Structure 1
């Protein structure tokens, strides 16, 4: 659940005010302890509850820390000396940065060839050696990138060949495709010669012949 923005004003409800005091007091003392451990700092925290109860935390003796604080606040020159030292350090750092920027600009001009007319032979030779070393590093890096790209392309090619091989093996398992060809069209007026035992026509009539014989009659179907 997202915690809403807390308004910085006195909490009117007494119970809520007491709960908030307990939570934030513990958080403050915990942060003071973490600051002393992580940063090796001398920390002291003093808290009085609305009812007058005392809560405190100190990395050493509370009285010694308070005395040290009082000595620092009573000596106004101490803070002024610290400020002057900080200003001197900042000026020194700015001068060093300015010199470094100037040297970088001169080196960049030499590398680009802008100061070649005013450079001596030794300076030109030094610049040439620097450029050759830089070019060798650039070529080495470029060759390395080319090799990596070639390896990736070979891996992709191998992958495609494996897939092609799998597809061919599946095709061989299914067998060759059979194509059904249609009979050529028969021109009108021509028929196909088909042998069949079926005969069409009038049934054959049989003729009955009776021949007398001595022993009797003889009947023949024609």
Structure 2
């Protein structure tokens, strides 16, 4: 009878898990022993059970095998580090070459070190400069247009503020004229009232009778 494939996941039943651990542990130790004998390999095996119990097998000394493993790890680490350093050095050399080429190109664009340039190289430099000048002019025109647009927007904003201030000034002027008219009307009404009081105190009649009446009132 063919046994079904075991699913690689944790066994939930504790008893089954312990039985499987014992069987497979023994099989693993047996395979390690067979590998060391048949192939003359240096094998070291360490297993901890779920409860923390240690099981181990070593074809020779366990400490020697572990130390050999550590030395191997150091060698691998040193090799990888050396390879990384070599890669960094190579990248640095390539970057230095690129920088030298850029510096030489920069000097030629500035009109320096042109003695070794051929006619074709000089023509290429001239074309590069003309293209650069073209891009610079286009950018300058664009900047001017942006500045003009900003000034136009600012002009519109100032015009709107000026219009608003004119409206406010007109309203203030109207209010001031209205208050001035009201003050003049009040003054006129006051003067009219005072003139009316004075007229009521005047005596109508001949001057002599007015004088006598005045003297009589003084004696009384």
TM-score (norm 1): 0.46
TM-score (norm 2): 0.47
- Higher percent of residues as helix: 2
- Higher percent of residues as strand: 1
